[in-house]
Structure formats: C-alpha cells, structure tokens
C-alpha cells in the first residue's frame, strides 16, 4: 500500500518537472501566424537585413505541440510601415509561461486503509489468541502434571498406611491371643486353688480329734488346718481376680485387634482405589462432543457417567488348605477375614507374582495366610 502511493507521488513530480522544462521552449518555437504584418509590407529597396536568417529559421516546421499548450494569443493590429531591417523577428508578444499544474495526488481510498487496518487488527488478535491458547495449554499441562504427582504421592501414602495397618492388626491379634492364653491359664490356676481349698476344708473336717485326746495337740492341728484353709481361700480369691483381669485384658485386646483389622481393610480399599487408573478428565469429553455435534446433526447421546460402574465382582471362593501343604514361599500377611486375604493375593497376582491363600489355625482361631513365591 505505501509503495504504490510513493510511486504515484514520484511519477507526478517527474511529470511536473518535465512540463516546467519543455513547455516554455515549445511556446517560443511556435511559428508566426499568416496574418503577420511582415508579409503585408511593401517591397522597398533596402539593404539586406541582418535578421534574414531569422526568416529562414522561422520557415522550418514546428515540432508537434504539447497536449497542455495554452491557446495562441490574438495577432496584434498592423503597424505603420517600417524598414524590414528594423522589423523585429517576432511581432507577437509571447505570454508568460504558465507553470504546469501538477497532477493531483489522490489520497488513498478509505476502503484500502480500512482493509489494511482490519488486516493488522485481525493479525494482532490472532497472535494474542495464539499466545493465550499456548499459555492456557502450558498451564493445563502443568496442572495435569501436578495432579498426577499428587495422585502418585497419595497412592504411595495409602500403600504405606495399608502396610502399617496390616502390621498393627497382626500385632494386635497376637496380643489378643496372648491375653486369651493368660486368661485360660488363670482360669486353670483358679480352679486348682478352689480344689485345694475344698480339699483342705475336707481335711480339716476329717481331722477333728475325738474328745478323749489331748487338747493341746488337737488345738495345734486345728490351727494348722485353719491356716492352710485360709491360705487356700486367699489363693482362690487371687486366682479369681487374676482370671477376671486376664479376661478383661483379652476382651480389650480382641477389640483392638478387630479395630486394627477394620483399619487395615479400609487402608487396603483406599490403596486399591488410588492405584486404579483414573477416568479421563471432563474437558476432552466436552470437546469431543462439540466436534461430533458440528460434524453431524444427529449426535449420539452422551455416555453414562463413570460413577455408575457396576460393582466389582467378588473373587470366587476357592478351596483353601487347612494347613500349609506346600513348602517354600514367604508369608506376607495373615488375615481373619477371607476377603482381605483374597484382595492381597489379587494385588500380588496383578504384579505377576505367584501368590496363594492358606487357612491355618492358631490358638483355636482360624486365620488366612497369604504366601508368595518369587
């Protein structure tokens, strides 16, 4: 746009300069008209005029007039006869050269200016939109990377929490079993003490001396039997108190073990949920739906939400051995609930590790052990 305007201005300036140079020269070389008074002067003997070559020069044909030559001036009226020698060569008074009018410089069309301005604004808007889109894409990628890192950290934390919960549950279970064993021992001791007290009381009743024996000997034996019976009764009371304390401790340990098992099950579920692959974000789905609507008028109905997934099927109940019949391997955990053992076994199998579940009995309690072979 600017180059074309510059070329027009330069062309107009060149034309104006050429007109200023050549137009006055063309006006001076124009031939005299036929009504010149020189042709009407009577012939008279006179010396040859020194300006004769001027007449010969004036008879030459004039160059073609320029298109912008102004009209010729009117011829002057005849003058009194004068000698030819004194007659001027040109009788018409030449007009002062008129400066040529430069060609008007047309301003640029408004439509062209508006078009150029609109093109520049459109390009600037496109550049700004591209920059915003790039910044949004970078921010989205950064947010996605942060979300993935947070999800990985959460999954790792859930895995550690699940391992700690499993260890705590195993420890609580062992403590509960030990408390139950102490309770049974205290119960046996209490029963033994009661039997001893009953035996001593029976001995005391049987050792009552007849009336004819010595009073001192009978008194001593009765005191000894009474003292033994009293000690037996105190032992019975102590054994009963110990049995009750052991029973309460066993109940408390059992409750703690059950709480730890529930916490371990919750941690296992959280770990599996964190390790499960997440569904794609909603933004690509919305973009795909809009594209399909633009491509075809009859768009397909949207897919059902991901929350309406069918429940995860439970693993089939496989027969487990009552005792470990296979040698080798490593026991990675013991569970009182069979489903938890199956869940741990499935996790190892998903990692391509051979795993199995074994049913064992420890202190009269059924446990499910998970054994792996690497």
Q: Between 360 and 60, whose confidence is greater? A: 360
User: Under a CB-based contact definition with an 8 Å cutoff, are residues 79 and 37 in contact?
Assistant: yes
Structure tokens at 243: 């049995």
Q: Is the pLDDT of residue 89 over 50?
A: no
Dihedral sign (CA 6, 7, 11, 12): negative
Confidence of residue 242 (pLDDT cuts 50, 70, 90): confident
Give backbone dihedrals phi and psi of 356, rounded to 5 degrees, phi first: -155, 165
State what percent of residues in the chain have pLDDT above 70: 60
Distance separating alpha carbons of residues 258 and 255, to the nearest angstrom: 5
Task: Name which of 113-117, 137-141, 272-276 the model is least confident about.
Answer: 272-276
Distance separating alpha carbons of residues 51 and 46, to the nearest angstrom: 13
H runs (alpha helix) in the chain: 2-28, 52-58, 110-206, 215-275, 282-295, 338-350
Highest averaged pLDDT of the listed ranges 90-104, 118-132, 228-242: 118-132
Which SS3 state, helix, strand or coil, does residue 306 take? helix
Would you kindly state where each structural domain of the chain is located, as residue ranges? Answer: 330-373
> What pLDDT shows up at residue 14?
95
Q: Which long-range contacts (CB under 8 A, 24 or more apart) does 351-359 make?
A: 356/326, 356/329, 357/318, 357/320, 358/320, 358/321, 358/323, 358/324, 358/325, 359/320, 359/321, 359/322, 359/323
Confidence of residue 168 (pLDDT cuts 50, 70, 90): confident
Report residue 331 CA to chain centroid gap: 42
What's the half-sphere exposure (Cβ side, CA atoms, 13 Å) at 282?
5
Q: Which residues pair with 334 in a beta bridge?
A: 369
Q: Which residues pair with 358 in a beta bridge?
A: 369
Structure tokens at 241: 């108190």
- Nearest by Cα to 169 from 367, 334, 2, 297: 334
Provide the phi-psi class of 149: left if phi over 0, else alpha when psi is between -120 and 50, else beta. alpha
Distance separating alpha carbons of residues 63 and 39, to the nearest angstrom: 23
pTM passes above 0.85: no
């Amino acid at each position: 746009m600017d180059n074309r305007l510059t070329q027009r201005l330069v062309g107009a300036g060149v034309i104006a300069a050429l007109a200023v140079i050549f137009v006055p020269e063309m006006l001076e070389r124009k031939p005299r008209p036929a009504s010149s008074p020189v042709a009407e002067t009577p012939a008279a003997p006179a010396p040859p005029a020194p300006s004769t070559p001027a007449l010969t020069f004036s008879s030459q044909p004039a160059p073609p007039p320029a298109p912008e030559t102004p009209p010729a001036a009117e011829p002057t009226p005849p003058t009194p006869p004068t000698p030819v020698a004194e007659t001027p060569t040109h009788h018409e008074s030449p007009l002062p050269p008129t400066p040529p009018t430069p060609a008007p410089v047309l301003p640029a069309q408004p439509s062209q200016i508006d078009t150029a301005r609109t093109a520049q604004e459109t390009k600037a808007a496109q550049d700004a939109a591209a920059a915003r889109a790039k910044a949004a894409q970078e921010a989205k990628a950064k947010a996605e990377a942060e979300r993935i890192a947070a999800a990985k950290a959460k999954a790792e934390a859930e895995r550690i929490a699940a391992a700690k919960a499993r260890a705590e549950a195993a420890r609580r279970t062992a403590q509960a079993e030990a408390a139950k064993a102490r309770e049974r021992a205290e119960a046996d001791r209490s029963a033994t003490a009661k039997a001893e007290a009953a035996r001593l009381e029976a001995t005391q009743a049987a050792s009552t001396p007849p009336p004819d024996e010595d009073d001192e000997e009978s008194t001593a034996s009765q005191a000894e039997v009474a003292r033994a019976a009293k000690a037996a009764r105190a032992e019975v009371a102590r054994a009963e108190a110990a049995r009750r304390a052991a029973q309460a401790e066993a109940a408390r340990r059992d409750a703690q073990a059950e709480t730890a098992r529930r916490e371990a099950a919750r941690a296992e579920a959280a770990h599996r949920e964190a390790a499960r692959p997440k569904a794609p974000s909603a933004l690509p789905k919305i973009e795909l739906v809009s594209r399909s609507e633009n491509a075809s008028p009859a768009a397909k109905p949207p897919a059902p939400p991901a929350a309406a997934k069918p429940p995860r099927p439970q693993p089939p109940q496989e027969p487990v051995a009552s005792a470990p019949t296979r040698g080798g391997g490593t026991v990675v955990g013991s569970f009182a609930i069979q489903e938890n053992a199956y869940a741990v076994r499935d996790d190892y199998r998903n990692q391509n590790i051979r795993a199995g579940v074994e049913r064992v009995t420890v202190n009269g309690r059924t446990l499910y052990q998970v054994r792996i072979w690497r």
